[in-house]
Structure 1
Amino acid sequence: MTIDLRIAGGVVVTPSGPTTADLLVDDGRIAGLVAPGVAVDAARTIDATGRLVLPGMVDVHVHTREPGYEHKDDILTTTRQAAAGGVTTIFGMPNLNPPTVDVETLTDVFERYASTSIVDWNHNPAPTKFDDIVPMAKMGINAYKIYMVVDTGRTYPHPAGTGIHDHGHLLQIMDRIAGTGKRFIVHPHDQALMDYIEGEVLARGENTPQGYASAYAAREGVIWDTAIDVVLRLAEASGCPVHIAHIQTRRSIEAVRRAKAAGVDVTCEVNHWAPFLSTWGDVETLGPYALSYWVPDENRAAIWEGMRDGTIDIASSDHAPHTREEKEIGWTEMWSAHTGTPGIQYYYELMLDAVNRGELTLERAVDMVARIPAEKFGLAGVKGALEVGADADIVIADMQHEWTITNDDVLSKIGWTPYDGRTISTRIERTLVRGRDVYADGAVVGEPGYGKLAAAPAELAAETAGTEGN
């Protein structure tokens, strides 16, 4: 019998740890691991000598900007960046135009992914139309997403239709989602407190990157901490699995740690900007190009501790591209700028670079980018791990390749990265999705439309059964 592919000579990072072995792939799935030199008839062999063989990243927080904001990015350009960055599955976000809030808009988004995505995909609609929550779950989604925020001075990136602010309404939605078994992603934010804090800053005329950064981190991050306390308590009351986006304060991390110990089904994520792009020096040097948010040093130390001890489960990019024009206004009118930063192309490499620097173990980095997001978002056994039977979503990385990120390498439409000029020590050389190259030899080689819906195993089985005899 001939298998499709043998990846030979590398160190394979399995759920049990790194092992020197050859990885076998057949029919798009992991077929086994064998000792180097063991005879296996393979149609193709990739030499991974001196390289790490890793599971592809499962990024559950990605803003594709399609439909409605394709001048920033679209599904094709986003998944080109994903392929180059070792991301083999993306979960899109609902803040689109129209926002993804019902069966009709979700159907449209699914069709767009199916037409142009290079990597596998899912999507997180907003559960703001109560009667569409269960029907959307039946379409194969694995999570929902809402914002507890209203934009001040702009209508984007948190458009109407994607937010829930009343706590009673939030509990009602959690009760309905709990019945679906899906996870509920919450962008935490205490809007009433923020209205007061922002009002004080703007009244002083501090409509600047520094003013904006200070407002969102004010009083040790009170707008985040109070909102997260509410979400955790409502998750406990409803039994709804929740996922906290944008974790960034010491108190919030402690609250999540306590909730987990109490048995609450909660996960949380760290986005690329928190450990790698959130110092005050970044705010002063890059201004709007670094915001997202400022993370004071005490909170950044807590983030690294939470990443190391597992309180922070998941690394998600929060890939949020905006054009230079949409950023430049922020130097003098930061509340009018579009906030968020692109991140999907370099996050995996930044995490591996942190491993080289001794800030994370390799096992923790791989757990955060692959195993845990797959497990917690309904894809265990399908994605996130190099184990027999799982999809052959594979990354080959050189851990001793020093290079400098530049804007010239950026595959996004916006043409810039906040990491321009940063030198790191690792390089992703190849990305495979279901055993097929999507990135190799420095180029994206995946075909638009190759990506498919990444659904839970039971839903995949039902989908297959539904097509039998057709």
Structure 2
Amino acid sequence: MPADLRIHGGRVVVPGGELNADVLVSGGRVAGLVEPGAEAPAERVVDATGRLVLPGMVDVHVHTREPGFTHKEDIRTTSEQAAAGGVTTIFGMPNLNPPTTTATVLADTFKLYEASSIVDYNHNPAATIPDQIPLMAEQGVRAYKVYMVVDTGRTYPHPAGTGMHDHGDLLRMMDTIAKTGKRFIVHPHDQALMDYIEGAYLERGENTPQAYARAYAERQGVIWDTAIDVVLRLAEASGCPVHLAHMQTRRSIEAVRRAKAAGVDVTCEVNHWALFLATWDDVERLGPYALSYWVPDDARAAVWEGLRDGTIDVCSSDHAPHTRDEKEIGWTRMWSAHTGTPGIQYYYPLLLDAAARGDLTLARVAELVAEVPAREFGLAGRKGALLPGHDADIVIADPDSPWTITDADVLSRCGWTPYAGRDCRVRIERTFVRGTEVYADGCVTGAPGHGRLA
């Protein structure tokens, strides 16, 4: 019986390396990897000669903005960008309206994904109500999320109901989540230190992007380092698997390295802005459009070291779109601007471009975006690798097709990208989700509702 699809002639990136092989797909799964000349009939053959054939990205940190903030983005437009960017599975975040804090709200949110998502999905609800944790686990979540932060001068992007700062509450929640076996995603932040540090800037009348950038990186990133130390110690005490968002300081990376060596079940991620957007030049040139956060040169070097040596486990986009109006106010009142930047459409291409420059190997990129997130978030054997039996979540990319990122190509509702004008060498040509083509030659071809709960 012929396969449904044969991807012929490409260089296939598999765990640990690369193969010159053809990928066979049947019933939405990888049926096999065969020699390019092997007899293996298929109903459709896609020529990938001279191309990279890669696993689809599993992005465990995505802000869809739906429900509640669809003027910024929604699930459909998020998944369109995902398809264009080689992302085949997205995990949404709970800072919505209503925030995802109960099993009832989670069920309603899953219905929105089911109706609108082109790619596969899950959702990370806020872990703030202990008796809801087991109920949400029964609904199929792979992880929970909490913010150790309160917004200063605004109510978004960290709305009430999604935050937790008290150490006793954090330990209680870790004890609760540990019983489910799920991972606990923590946005680390020492709020007491931040109140003191940013208060000094605001008292001096410094409310610019430059002041905001300096405040959050103050004293070599002390607000991140102390929070991460607390999370790691509580994870050790509770046995709860934790995942740290937003790695961006040398000391934090060293702390994670030590914790792993001591047997703490911790994973961590780096987001697009820390690698490709967080220089001082970006802050000066783009102001609020570059923030998220500034990562000083020494800290960024540590992040790249952590990517290469395995301390940093995952690349997640932290896709966080806001309108231009919500950003423009930041030129003179940065603490009133909504922070975060859109990134899901361009993170995988930028990582592949970094591999083309020799900054990472292709195998390591595949680990960071697909293999490790699938394994650590409960999708091992289903997602994250081009191996027989896995979902046929496949990306075909041209490794030598220079192009320039432009606002005109942005699929986000917000209509802009901080990467406008940036040149990229590697171009994603096709994306398949469970063997169905959802993006081809510059056009999203997948239908809303194709995505399934992962």
Q: Could you state the TM-score of these two structures normalised by the residue count of structure 2?
A: 1.00
- Name the CA distance, whole Å, in 2 between partners of 1:312 and 1:53: 24
Report the equivalent of 1:110: 110
Please state if 1:325 is matched with 2:314.
no
Please state if 1:291 is matched with 2:254.
no
Please state if 1:85 is matched with 2:85.
yes
Report SS of the residue matched to 2:351.
helix
- Name the CA distance, whole Å, in 2 between partners of 1:123 and 1:237: 26
* Per-residue Cα deviation, 1:364-403 (whole angstroms, up to 9, x for no partner): 1110000000000000000000011000000000110111
How much has 1:122 moved relative to structure 2? 0.2
Asked if the contact 2:101/2:125 (under 8 Å) is kept, the reply is: yes
Report the equivalent of 1:94: 94
User: Please, which runs of 5 or more residues in structure 1 have no aligned partner?
Assistant: 455-470
- Name the CA distance, whole Å, in 2 between partners of 1:104 and 1:337: 31
Q: What letter corresponds to residue 61 of structure 1 in structure 2?
A: H
Asked if the contact 2:27/2:435 (under 8 Å) is kept, the reply is: yes
Q: What letter corresponds to residue 208 of structure 1 in structure 2?
A: T
* Per-residue Cα deviation, 1:56-102 (whole angstroms, up to 9, x for no partner): 00000000000000000000000000000000000000000000001
- Name the CA distance, whole Å, in 1 between partners of 2:411 and 2:442: 12
Determine what percentage of the aligned residue pairs are the same residue.
Answer: 74
Report SS of the residue matched to 1:4.
strand
Report SS of the residue matched to 2:419.
coil
Backbone CA RMSD of aligned residues: 0.5
How much has 1:129 moved relative to structure 2? 1.1
Alignment of 1:39-188 (within 5 A): 39-188=39-188
Q: What letter corresponds to residue 293 of structure 1 in structure 2?
A: Y
Report the equivalent of 1:221: 221
Structure 1 stretches of at least 4 aligned residues deviating more than 4 Å after TM superposition: none
Q: What letter corresponds to residue 161 of structure 1 in structure 2?
A: G
Q: What letter corresponds to residue 33 of structure 1 in structure 2?
A: L
Report the equivalent of 1:340: 340
How much has 1:362 moved relative to structure 2? 1.0
* Per-residue Cα deviation, 1:6-43 (whole angstroms, up to 9, x for no partner): 00000111114100000000000000011011111211
Please state if 1:282 is matched with 2:274.
no
Q: What letter corresponds to residue 436 of structure 2 in structure 1?
A: R
Alignment of 1:393-404 (within 5 A): 393-404=393-404
Report SS of the residue matched to 2:42.
coil
Report the equivalent of 2:203: 203
* Per-residue Cα deviation, 1:256-293 (whole angstroms, up to 9, x for no partner): 00000000000000000001000000000000000000
Report SS of the residue matched to 1:304.
helix
- Name the CA distance, whole Å, in 2 between partners of 1:188 and 1:423: 33
| Aligned residue pairs, count | 454
Report the equivalent of 1:468: none
* Per-residue Cα deviation, 1:118-163 (whole angstroms, up to 9, x for no partner): 0000000011111100010010000000000000001100000000
How much has 1:363 moved relative to structure 2? 1.1
* Per-residue Cα deviation, 1:269-327 (whole angstroms, up to 9, x for no partner): 00000010000000000000000000000100000000010100100000000000000
Alignment of 1:405-444 (within 5 A): 405-444=405-444
Report the equivalent of 1:361: 361
Report SS of the residue matched to 2:341.
coil
Asked if the contact 2:56/2:431 (under 8 Å) is kept, the reply is: yes
Q: What letter corresponds to residue 398 of structure 2 in structure 1?
A: D
- Name the CA distance, whole Å, in 2 between partners of 1:265 and 1:244: 11
Report the equivalent of 1:457: none
Report SS of the residue matched to 1:43.
strand
- Name the CA distance, whole Å, in 2 between partners of 1:173 and 1:102: 14
Report the equivalent of 1:34: 34
User: Please, which runs of 5 or more residues in structure 2 have no aligned partner?
Assistant: none
